A = this chain, B = another copy of it.
Amino acid sequence: MNVSIGELKQMGREIHRLEQISALLGWDQETYMPVKAIGDRAEQQSLIQGIIHSKITDSGLGKVLNSLGADLESLDVKGDYSDTDRALIRHIARMYKKAVKLPKDLVERTAREESISQARWIDARRNSDFSIFAPHLKIILDLKRETADLLGYDDERYDALLDDYEPWMKTREIVEVFSKFQKELKEFIEKIKSSNTSIDDSFLYRDYDIEKQEAFGKEILNSMGYDFSRGRLDVSAHPFTTSLGYDDTRITTRYKKNNFKTGIFGIIHECGHGLYELGFPDKIRGTLLADGTSMGIHESQSRMWENIIGRSRSFWKTFFPKLKGYFPEALKGVSLDEFHRAVNAVLPSLIRVEADEVTYNMHIIIRFNLERRLLNEKLTVDELPEAWNHEYGTYLGIEPENDSEGVLQDIHWSGGMIGYFPTYTLGNLYAAQFYNTLKKEIPGLEAELEKGNLKIVLDWLREKIHRHGSVYSASDLCRMVTGESVNPGYFMSYLDNKYRHIYDL
């Protein structure tokens, strides 16, 4: 059989187009879909996922991969290819290898259930009633266990699911990274707690008109380089970013009138994701490589923008005066330094997405541990709310008063995203490590940021990270950019440097 890589590209492109269509079905469900359409939507998602699965598992695709030199066991690719072409063959071979292990019926049932379960989760959260969501979570977990067992794994089930979000990484690597990190982080939180500094952030909870928040958010998006002719900003229950095309990456946020941080930092965070998706170069555009290489790397983008840039004093040097123009009343008498300290106040809290960047990682570690126990049947769904509350007591010293601000707060489990959470903390670690290199490579960075020149950051990210799409694995990319593997030391010294000033440590 004599095939060209062009044939493979065409097959991959159709799969990518169908994934984009599925993304539109998802985006619409979260933003504009009428409530009673959920049954329709679940069936449509199931149908599209079934079609995608048929395309990926097509024996013709297997033959093309074979004849292009892909070893479907080791995923090595023999032949004289450019890095990009080799990566594409390997990428599709990996998809094929995984997909052929799953029966179409399982894929369709999973898609249907994830769609319905997500809608039930919204109900449950609104009513703060875990019992509405529990039966769906049970089904999701059964489906995920079935999936993991069919995919196979070396150490534990979690490996098989993690691989969807952080390809090539193993659970034990995460456990290894997290265990030392968790200890250092705990000590750091203690240090802050026992410092004598108290930060007044009460003005962040004054009256912030939502339309003005949106207008200010759009101003920041423009400065960050987000292109509205290739994207949009909408509102959803849970902020997210999604790509519906090579020129169509949309972000969402949610606003709270009496909490300035929710809307704006949501926007900066999602824009970080969006810039990654909109930054793939022509060389990989139109192929499946035009995608983030892992969710950890994706989160490194969103969290670098949200926290390292977006909560820096340099950033607000330019934007705080503008912000005061929007909200002169709420920010009356507040200085830049006071504002900067307020948006960086560290305080153990219940809601992950509103947590400060220090305690945030504790939220992740709690979820990572819980979802592993659920998957390994060491914890039942019925026991989950109590276990959740218990972990919050242990790790953060506080306990939720109801399920809405506890176990029901996140969308992930309802959407079948089990194995996703650790990528957030990986993202924080990658972000600090990347930023450490960035600072070295751009002398005078802070002065530029103080002038509002965010383009200098975007250009660097484009060149070092976005440009590669998913040509290189997350760990290869990390080594290419920073010279070493993921190392929590960078995050810890970033925290140290930053909070030393804020908390007078």
Contacts and interface: CB of A to CB of B under 8 A. Distances in A.
Interface of A: 14, 17-18, 20-21, 24-25, 28, 32-37, 39-41, 43-44, 47-48, 51, 227-232, 234, 244-248, 250
A247 B119 CA distance: 15
B230 A36 contact: yes
A248 B20 contact: no
Given A39-B247, A247-B39, A21 B44 contact: yes
Nearest to A32: B232
Closest 10 CB pairs of A and B: A40-B245, A37-B248, A36-B247, A36-B229, A37-B245, A36-B230, A37-B247, A17-B47, A35-B229, A34-B230
Contacts of A44: 17, 20-21, 24, 245
20 contacts: A14-B47, A17-B47, A18-B47, A20-B44, A21-B21, A21-B25, A21-B44, A24-B28, A24-B44, A32-B232, A34-B228, A34-B232, A34-B248, A36-B229, A36-B230, A37-B245, A40-B245, A40-B247, A41-B245, A41-B248
Contacts of A25: 21, 24
Contacts of A246: 39-40
B34 A231 contact: yes
A221 to B, nearest CB: 13
B229 A40 contact: no
A347 B43 CA distance: 49
Contacts of A24: 24-25, 28, 44
User: Which of A25, A40, A44 neighbours the largest number of chain B CB atoms within 10 Å of its CB?
Assistant: A40
A48 B44 CA distance: 12
Contacts of A230: 34, 36-37
A51 B14 CA distance: 11
A244 B32 CA distance: 12
A202 to B, nearest CB: 33
Contacts of A245: 37, 39-41, 44
A32 to B, nearest CB: 6
A17 to B, nearest CB: 5
Contact of A40 (B14, B40, B244): B244
What DSSP secondary structure best describes chain A's contact surface? Answer: helix
A227 B28 CA distance: 18
Q: How many copies does the complex hold?
A: 2
Contacts of A229: 34-36
A24 B31 CA distance: 13
Contacts of A37: 230, 244-245, 247-248
Contacts of A41: 245, 248
Contacts of A43: 17
A40 B290 CA distance: 14
Contacts of A34: 228-232, 247-248, 250
A338 to B, nearest CB: 37
A8 to B, nearest CB: 17
A40 B24 CA distance: 12
A234 B234 CA distance: 14
Contacts of A250: 34
A35 B438 CA distance: 33
A230 B44 CA distance: 16
Contact of A20 (B17, B32, B40, B227): B40
A49 to B, nearest CB: 12
A312 B40 CA distance: 37
Contacts of A33: 248
A302 B33 CA distance: 23
Contacts of A48: 21
A292 to B, nearest CB: 18
A33 B20 CA distance: 13
Contacts of A39: 245-247
Given A32-B32, A34-B247, 8 more contacts: A17-B44, A20-B40, A20-B44, A21-B44, A32-B232, A36-B227, A36-B247, A40-B248
A301 to B, nearest CB: 20
A248 B36 CA distance: 7
A28 B20 CA distance: 13
A83 to B, nearest CB: 26
Contacts of A248: 33-34, 36-37, 40-41
A34 B228 CA distance: 7
A36 B34 CA distance: 27
Nearest to A48: B21
Contacts of A14: 47
A210 to B, nearest CB: 15
A247 B41 CA distance: 10
A315 to B, nearest CB: 26
Nearest to A249: B34
